[in-house]
Structure 1
Amino acid sequence: MSPFTLFSDSSRGYADHGWLKTHHTFSFGNYRNSQRIHFGALRVFNDDFIDSGMGFGTHPHQNMEIITIPLNGDLAHKDSMGNGTVIREGDIQVMSAGTGIEHSEYNANADKPVEILQIWLFPKTHNVTPRYEQKTIDKKQAHNQLHAVLTPNPTENAVWIHQDAWFYLSDLDAGKTLEYSKQLAGNAVFVFVISGALEINGQKLNRRDAIGFTDTQHFEISAQENTQLLLMEFPEELPSFYQ
């Protein structure tokens, strides 16, 4: 894996299903790209726009850590573990599929679309007991700083998954610069621009662009305008049972 990979907005796969408009950074559904199967432990990064009242019917998952972040609107969720919730803008939801789960996801609003990021990571442990967790993000903690919303261990303000991964959200004012150092030397980092524009180590990124690092331990993030970003750190190497 090269130490630097650009995932531009224009390079993503796209599908228009009428009720669902979706961009795929990695191979998913009918989008197949042999150069875009995964980036380290990151297997799926989907940017979904779901029409009012529409969604995904009940379907199964197994041995995957699934993270959902609504960017606009609300998403109704039901699963085989007995959970029935609404995931709202400002929330983060995780499911450890483990030995197997089934769930459905629908736009909870009859009058407006919902826009979500859905992310799948390979877990570090096979066949764990399925679990569900959902928390509301304190947006004030994300203003001009990196706010941890996902970690490998239970914390008060973040959800956790079965992987050595950290997710951060940040709302940066134009001209603000942040520094980031990886939690673990062997991890990769993936930065996605939700809105705005930024620069990382001389590389400019615009709305919906992303960049991946492997060998870089420290880097700076400079907002070129008011910018919202998602930074994810996770293992570069997959567990042996996926290789």
Structure 2
Amino acid sequence: MTSTALTPAVDVRRSGERFHTRIGWLDSRHSFSFGQHYDPDNTHFGVLMVSNDDVVKAGSGFETHPHRDMEIVTWVLEGSLVHQDSTGHSGLIYPGLAQRMSAGTGILHSEKNDSWRIDAAAAKHDQDVHFVQMWVVPDTEKITPGYEQLDIGPALDAGELVVVASGMPKHGTDSAISIRQEHAALYAARLRPGASTTVPTATLVNLFVARGSVELEGAGVLGTGDTARITVGDGQRVVAGPDGAEVLVWEMHAALR
């Protein structure tokens, strides 16, 4: 990785431009090259390698599979997701819960929509789970695999950007969960209609509209699934549309070579 000096710019990527994987149990839209989808000009932004917007049907999910040397953050928008991994960690991920898995030297894990089991008492047997999974390259390879989660739902009620995950020294212990990447931090905000916030001042900023719509200063209106990749961000203002919005924002100060 290198420090990055770039010309100020906002590159808007519309939802419909994303790569799309659709099979019986999964509807997934990829912001970057992923799996069979490859574009040499769209493999990452900063240290963010993957940003997948997934919908998984009840009783289905990703079977046990490996990862290595990657910081993986999962953010659920609707429903619930069951995580299990080879280090013995397991957890139920739901809206407002920050979750991180460090793959490090190697880890196996599965992710399932077990709503048919979890919600059996309420007879909700067919609820989809909708989540965004993001992969960041760590600043140190071959670390010991790890897992962390924390419910930050109450903090989101304030309607401002909340630090979800960070490895940046400036955040200290303020972030909900930690990542092994000293040049990056993830924020989330749930904005009421007409409410505003500002993106971090940073070399690279990736703003993803998880739902709703916003108006981004210098870029116009962004709808659900749209992304703004900002270079040399200077704290642009973000205003939620008439139905409010939920946004995920990566602040980054380095990029892959």
Q: Same fold (TM over 0.5)?
A: yes
Confirm or deny that 1:116 pairs with 2:125.
no
Match of 1:176 in 2: 195
Match of 1:188 in 2: 204
Runs ≥4 in structure 1, deviation > 4 angstroms? none
State the distance in 1 between where 2:88 and 2:135 align.
21
Specify the code of the residue in structure 2 equivalent to 1:205. Answer: L
Match of 1:199 in 2: 215
Match of 1:234 in 2: 252
Say whether the 8 Å CA contact 2:166–2:175 is kept in structure 1: no
Match of 2:238 in 1: 221
Specify the code of the residue in structure 2 equivalent to 1:220. Answer: R
1:120-135 alignment to 2 at 5 Å?
Answer: 120-135=135-150
Confirm or deny that 1:151 pairs with 2:170.
no
TM-score with structure 1 setting the length: 0.91
Distance apart, 1:113 and its partner CA = 1.2
Confirm or deny that 1:24 pairs with 2:30.
yes
Distance apart, 1:32 and its partner CA = 1.4
Aligned-partner SS, 2:104: coil
Distance apart, 1:140 and its partner CA = 4.3
Distance apart, 1:137 and its partner CA = 1.5
Aligned-partner SS, 1:214: strand
State the distance in 2 between where 1:83 and 1:58 align.
13
- Counting matched residue pairs gives 236
State the distance in 2 between where 1:44 and 1:227 align.
22
Q: CA, structure 1 residues 168+142, in 2 after alignment: closer, same or farther (shift >3 Å)? A: farther
Match of 2:121 in 1: none
Confirm or deny that 1:93 pairs with 2:99.
yes
State the distance in 2 between where 1:51 and 1:26 align.
23
The runs of 5 or more residues in structure 1 that have no matched partner are none
1:12-71 C-alpha deviation (Å, 9 max, x unpaired): 011111100100010111211222110110100000000101011111100111011111
Match of 2:88 in 1: 82
State the distance in 2 between where 1:52 and 1:149 align.
27
Distance apart, 1:223 and its partner CA = 1.7
State the distance in 1 between where 2:222 and 2:135 align.
23
Q: CA, structure 1 residues 36+56, in 2 after alignment: closer, same or farther (shift >3 Å)? A: same
Say whether the 8 Å CA contact 2:97–2:153 is kept in structure 1: no
Distance apart, 1:133 and its partner CA = 0.3
Say whether the 8 Å CA contact 1:44–1:120 is kept in structure 2: yes
1:192-231 C-alpha deviation (Å, 9 max, x unpaired): 1112211112312111111011222321112222111111
Percentage of pairs with the same residue: 36
Q: CA, structure 1 residues 39+157, in 2 after alignment: closer, same or farther (shift >3 Å)? A: closer
Distance apart, 1:157 and its partner CA = 5.6
Distance apart, 1:82 and its partner CA = 0.7
Match of 2:11 in 1: 5
The runs of 5 or more residues in structure 2 that have no matched partner are 1-5, 117-124
TM-score with structure 2 setting the length: 0.86
Distance apart, 1:93 and its partner CA = 0.9
